[in-house]
Amino acid sequence: EKIHSVIFKNSVEASKIVAQEIATLIQSKQAENQKCILGLATGSSPIRVYAELVRLHKEEGLSFSNVITFNLDEYYPMTKENNQSYHYFMHEHLFNHIDIKPENINIPDGTVAIEDLNQYCVDYELKIKNAGGLDFQLLGIGRTGHVGFNEPGSHVNSGTRLITLDHITKVDASSDFNGISNVPKRAITMGVSTILRSKRIVLLAWGQNKADIIKRTIQGDISAEIPATFLQNHDNTTFVLDQSAASEL
């Protein structure tokens, strides 16, 4: 196995450790007067990590004044105000509660006109590059093996782009959208190569329904059929799992 994994009793404990790693990174960059470039994820998996970061800000004075964030993805089309948007999610769970500068928050914009999207995606990549690249990328994983919204078939060299959501992904999102017919058919996502360029990657997976995809991701052959398997080629990735998600390893 090339991917390093750590198994915790539960997601509460695991999330605290991950938040602590992020906090330590932010503070070490602060000490060197440098920006800290974080790649962030949505979904249920990172919620407790964000809650712990908010607690560290409120109770232990952790500052995000030197932090620049890039989110992985956003549904398309999607307005920012929609409470199903990843824009809304990130503000609700993290940005509204910390001292990050609004101009340092980057989330793919689900309102960009379709004819402007290619250029928008190129610019998103460039913005990450010009910031110095991602120091840390937080990931969840979909049951299709997607990271961000890189669905099966995503090329290892893919960059930020518009993608079509897999049927299973739409099934999993259907409860958030009050039925599968309301789930957006597409999304903007950072590419596999965008993610793999991050200096450090931590993927979170909790619960029995992730056990099968975690096994296939860590122990299976590297293939675009399960884009998360490309993480096997990254030399600083850790899978942080609870006992249920690790139960088939």
73 is known as an active-site residue: yes
Judged by CB, which is closer to ligand GLP: 65, or 178?
A: 178
Positions in 47-86 near ligand GLP (CB under 6 A): 72-73
Asked if 245 and 45 touch (Cβ cutoff 8 Å), the reply is no
Among 37, 94, 141, 228, binds ligand GLP (CB under 6 A): 141
151 is known as an active-site residue: yes
Q: Quote the least distance from Cβ 131 to ligand GLP, whole Å.
A: 20
Residue nearest to ligand GLP (CB): 140
Annotated catalytic residue within 52, 109, 146, 172: 146
Backbone torsions φ then ψ of 150, nearest 5 degrees: -80, 95
Q: Quote the least distance from Cβ 169 to ligand GLP, whole Å.
A: 6
Tokens of 210: 């992730």
Among 41, 53, 228, 240, binds ligand GLP (CB under 6 A): 41
Number of other CB atoms surrounding residue 3 within 10 Å: 19
Q: Check residue 94 for interaction with ligand GLP (CB under 6 A).
A: no
Q: Look at residues 89, 87, 68 and name the one whose alpha carbon lies nearest to residue 76.
A: 87
Backbone torsions φ then ψ of 32, nearest 5 degrees: -100, 10
* Region from 13-21, 25-33, 40-48, 59-67 binding ligand GLP, contact rule CB under 6 A: 40-48
**Which residues partner with 147 through β-bridges?**
150
Q: Check residue 142 for interaction with ligand GLP (CB under 6 A).
A: yes
Measured CA to CA, the distance from residue 64 to residue 126 in angstroms comes to 22
Quickly list DSSP for 46-80: THHHHHHHHHHHHHH----TTEEEEESEEEES--S
146 is known as an active-site residue: yes
Judged by CB, which is closer to ligand GLP: 34, or 79?
A: 79
